[in-house]
Structure 1
Amino acid sequence: MQTPVTFLLEQEGVDYRLLPHSKPATTIDEAARERGVAPEQMVKSILLRDMSGFHVLACVPGPAQVDPKKVRALLGCRRLTCADARDVEDVTGLRIGTVAPIGLKTPMPVIFDNTILQYTIVNISSGDRMAGIELSMEDLLLLCDPLFADICR
């Protein structure tokens, strides 16, 4: 399976494991079951936008929720909201529910919640609802060079 995310990983020479699904996953819990991993090891990527059209990708452990107010305070933005499905696809090049913190169409700040750092191996989306990707946290951090902060609710 070739996706923008697997293409980038192969181009960068990063070791990863593709975790195919038997059916498309639409939630973190479904994806975790399909991949046979704990939801906490999954990195959920949420695209936020402010009123001026500025975008940021906020990443939290699978079961957690992003707190847009904390992200706004960190970046000094005005009101931040979750981007709609069309905006997600236009900005990231990926459909909602398949966004990973790497392989994005548009460069933007990426912020990881501090709690993600407790895992040495993580799961991200492959860019396709039919598979996930397992890779080392170290490699993921090198590829996306995120900011770190407390951004969970």
Structure 2
Amino acid sequence: MSKTTRATQALQQARVAFTVHAYDYDPNAERIGLQAAEAMGADPASVLKTLMVLVDNRPACVILPSDQEVNLKKLAAALGGKAAQMMKPGDAERITGYHVGGISPFGQKKRVPTVLEQSALNHAEVFMNGGQRGLQVKLDPRAAAAVLDAKVAGVV
């Protein structure tokens, strides 16, 4: 497994401190984020999942703890929209340039509005997808929000 991806390159270019963590990815896991947390022995609340959504039919990204579910009404409101829905996997892959299970908020092909669940800031460091299945980056959630120009809001 390569530990250099578009995501890690984007973080390096932004001069964000991070560490890389590989784990055994299970393609059959019901909830990929929870499987990642378990495989790494990490608190599920500190392992964040990246979801691609449509808000008023426009692409957006939401990052939240792997043990939580996004509230689509709160997400739409956070981005000034009326309605949100999950993006189809094929569309998410096309827009981000990553495969489902390896979608990182960093280094996506197309920059889209991003929301970071506010509870992520309760942790000094969080894990986020590093741009491929079985690869996570560990970093300060505040640094992640800054480099992504993410809106921090309650969306669970």
| Common topology (TM > 0.5) | yes
Q: For 1:118, which of 116, 122, 129 is the aligned residue?
A: 122
Shift of the 113–51 alpha-carbon distance from structure 1 to 2, 3 Å rule, reads closer
Which amino acid in 2 is paired with 1:47?
M
Indicate if the aligned counterparts of 2:145 and 2:151 stay in contact, CA closer than 8 A. Answer: no
* Correspondence list, 1:1-153, <5 A: 1-24=3-26, 26=29, 27-50=32-55, 52=57, 54-152=58-156
CA RMSD of aligned residues (A): 1.8
**Contact 2:37–2:43 (CA under 8 A) maintained in structure 1:** yes
Cα shift at 1:110: 0.7
CA contact (8 A) 2:21 2:138 kept: yes
Note if contact 1:39-1:61 (Cα within 8 Å) is conserved in structure 2.
yes
| CA distance in 2: counterparts of 1:137 and 1:51, whole angstroms | 27
Greater CA deviation, 73-82 or 11-20?
Answer: 73-82
Count of residues in Structure 1 that have an aligned counterpart in Structure 2: 151
Normalising to structure 1: TM-score of the pair? 0.88
* Seq. identity, %: 22
Q: Residues 102 and 134 of structure 2 are in contact (CA less than 8 Å); yes or no, is this contact kept in structure 1?
A: no
Uncovered stretches (5+) of structure 1, i.e. residues with no partner:
none
- Worse-superposed segment, 112-121 or 92-101: 92-101
Question: Does the CA-based 8 Å contact 2:56-2:83 persist in structure 1?
Answer: yes
Q: Runs of 5+ in structure 2 lacking a partner?
A: none
Report the Cα distance in structure 2 between the residues aligned to 1:45 and 1:83, rounded to whole angstroms: 12
Code of the residue aligned with 1:30 in structure 2: it is: Q
Residue 44 (structure 1) shift = 1.3
Report how far residue 13 of structure 1 moved: 2.7
